[in-house]
Every structure is written in C-alpha cells, then in structure tokens.
Structure 1
Amino acid sequence: MIDWKRVEELREEIGADGFAEVADMFLDEAEEAVQALVAGLPAGEVGGQLHFLKGSALNLGLSDLAAVCQDGERKAAGGHGELVDTAQVAAVYRASRASLLGGLSLDRAGAA
C-alpha cells in the first residue's frame, strides 16, 4: 500500500520539515479532490482530478492509490469517466492516508 522506500527518499531529499509540509498539503488537497469525485463531477473533469491524485500519490509512495487512479484515468481518457468507481478511489485514499499517517507516527515515536 505504501512504498516506504519512496517516503524515505523524499524525506531525505527535502528534509523532515519539508516532507511534513508536502504530506500535509497533499492530504488537504487530496481530500478536496476525493470529495469532489464522490460528490460527482462532470465526466470531462474526472480524469483531471484522478491525474492530480495519481501524480501526488506516486510522489508520496501511495502505490495503491496511484494504481486505482491510473485505472480510473484510463477510463476517463477513453470517454468513460462515468464508469470510474469513485467510492473505490475514496476507500483506497482513506486507507492509504491512514497507513501513511500511522507509519509516520510510529516512525516519529521510534525517533523520540
């Protein structure tokens, strides 16, 4: 679900404070994107939201979220944005978020 190697690489690249800022910003923006998807977007806007989520998820090592977004993005690009399972995207996002935050909390506790 989480590519912890990628998380550590990013943290090393930008530092712990920078990583925390990037992760917080992603989670805030991703929450808005997921809520918009679930609330219902015009089919033509679904692909853009999924593309954003996929790219950000890959950057943070959220591999399961990136995969489900890529699948939905393909459907949307094929003119089938209405076939994207937005409930699945939301469920995978929430599970990924919980796993990331839980892992980071454990990491911080171990460093203390």
Structure 2
Amino acid sequence: MIDWAQVNTLRDDVGQEDFAEIVEIFIDEVEHVIEKLRTVPDLNTLGDDLHFLKGSALNLGFLAFSEQCQLGETNSAAGHADQVDIPAIISAYDASKTKFMSEMPSALTP
C-alpha cells in the first residue's frame, strides 16, 4: 500500500525538515481535491483531478491510491468519467493516509 523505499528516498533527497513540510503540503493539497470528490465531483475535470492526485500519490509512495487514480484517469480519458469509482479512490486515499501516518515513524530508516 505504501512504498516505504520511495518515502525514504524522498526524505533523504530533501532532508528531514523539508520532508515534514512536504508531507504537510501533500496532505493539504490532496485533501482539498479529495473533499471536492466527496462533495461535488466535476466529471469535466475529473481526469485532471485524478492525474494530479496520482502524481502526488506516487511522490509520497501511496501505491494503492495512485493505482486507483490511474484507473479513474484512464476511464476519464476514454470518455467514461461517469464510470469512475470515486468512492474506491477516496477509500484508497483514506486507508493509505491512515497507514502512512501510523507507520511512518517506524518505517523510516535512520
């Protein structure tokens, strides 16, 4: 669900202090789009929203979430935005975020 090697690489590349800031920014930006999907998803921009979410997810190692976003982005690009499983995408994000936040302190290598 979480690619901890990617998380460790990102943390090593940017440093511990900047890593914490990146995580905070990631959560804030992704939560904004997820809230949009929860309340009033716009099928006209869904592909773009999912592309953004997928890229953000990959940067922070949220594999399951990025896979769900990719599926939705592909459907949107094929003209089937109305068939995107938005609840599955939201669920994958919620589960990934919970796992990430609870396991991050012990999963990061010293």
Map of 1:80 onto structure 2? 80
Tell me the TM-score normalised to structure 1 length. Answer: 0.91
**RMSD of aligned Cα (Å):** 1.6
The normalised TM-score by structure 2 is 0.93
Give the length in aligned residue pairs: 110
Tell me the residue number matched to 1:100: 100
Question: What is the rounded CA distance, in whole Å, between the counterparts of 2:106 and 2:5 in structure 1?
Answer: 15
CA contact (8 A) 1:43 1:80 kept: no
Which residue does 2:42 correspond to in 1? 42
Moved over 4 A (4+): none
Tell me if structure 2 keeps the 8 A contact 1:47–1:72.
Answer: yes
CA separation in 2, counterparts of 1:24 and 1:42? 25
Deviation at 1:57, TM superposition (A): 0.4
Give the Cα separation in 2 of the matches to 1:55 and 1:107. Answer: 22
Name the CA distance, whole Å, in 1 between partners of 2:33 and 2:89.
10
- Consecutive unaligned residues of structure 2, counting only runs of 5 or more, are none
Q: For the residues of structure 2 that align with 1:107 and 1:75, how far apart are their CA atoms?
A: 34
Question: Which residues of structure 1 form unaligned runs of 5+?
Answer: none
Q: In the alignment, which residue of structure 1 is the partner of 2:13? A: 13
Task: Please give the alpha-carbon distance, in whole angstroms, between the structure 1 residues aligned to 2:107 and 2:89.
Answer: 26
1:50-61 correspondence runs (5 A): 50-61=50-61
Deviation string 1:34-71 (CA, Å, 9 cap, x unpaired) is 11112232211101110111000000111101000000
Deviations 1:5-43 (A, max 9, x none): 000000000001111111111111111111111223221
Larger relative helix fraction: 1
| 8 A Cα contact 1:65 1:92, kept in partner | yes
**Percent of residue pairs identical:** 37
1:4 equivalent in alignment to 2:4: yes
Q: Which amino acid aligns with 2:5?
A: K
